[in-house]
Structure 1
């Protein structure tokens, strides 16, 4: 009987893509990457459709990444619409290195409406500018 338990446990340890959790307005979604590449940032494949989450204007979104992302480098970027209905962007500093598992995304003003959030994982390679090459992207489209 112990052998069958070990076999069943071994089957559940399959490798899977890292997931990111987004929480806002009392709702939580957990998504897999929309695009994911190998560790060098090549051999990329589209994986999943963007997630959707309802976020009222001016509200924050809490983002949590799993250990694989937190051990490397990751960032949050967003697109929002300001009171004048002009789209603007925002980005977090580079997070991770085992220290950052969460990030709270807040728009500058209470009337600003988030439109899209992306979490980017850095690859092991860097661009000529010194910026890390993106390995994966987790995308959430915001509904009102």
Structure 2
């Protein structure tokens, strides 16, 4: 359960759909708009995604109006682990994303959706406001 006195009572949710199952996920970590006063949830959601299957990701309006990205970890058929992502999405234009791995033999292992805060790091990258985590089983 998320707690924190400075945070809203309603946390944005992200919907993941794969292999005929849909789950709605609350953030694993969620902070105020400046990236402070963070609340955490310890257990990631789980979703079964067999190799070669796609995952539909849908964010609520609050995330879609800002900046968000999906980052995913997968194992290639040769056993090599790879992490990649979508790049920044949102600005009121992107409510959904279809995650399809490059090859049918690739096995998805995990997904995180990141929301950017109003603050920017010294590197110029947006500060992470929150993230939604899904552990993938096959």
> What TM-score, normalized to structure 1?
0.88
Partner of 1:61: 55
Q: In angstroms, what is the RMSD of aligned CA positions?
A: 1.1
Deviation at 1:88, TM superposition (A): 0.4
Q: Is 2:130 aligned against 1:136?
A: yes
Q: Give a deviation string over 1:20-52, Cα, whole Å, max 9, x none.
A: 000000100001001001101122121352110
Greater Rg, structure 1 or structure 2?
1
Task: Point out 4+ residue stretches in structure 1 off by more than 6 angstroms.
Answer: none
Match of 1:78 in 2: 72
Unaligned segments of structure 1, at least 5 residues: 1-13
Out of 122, 127, 136, the residue aligned to residue 116 of structure 2 is: 122
What SS does the corresponding residue of 1:109 show, helix, strand or coil?
Answer: coil
Paired residues, number: 131
Larger relative helix fraction: 1
Aligned: 1:108 with 2:108: no
Residues 1:89 and 2:83 are matched in the alignment: yes
The secondary structure found in structure 2 opposite 1:76 is strand
CA displacement 1:87-138 (0-9 Å, x = unmatched)? 1011002011111100011111100000000000000001111110000100
Q: Which ranges of structure 2 fall in alignment gaps of 5 or more residues?
A: 1-7
Deviations 1:56-92 (A, max 9, x none): 1021100000001001000000000001111101100
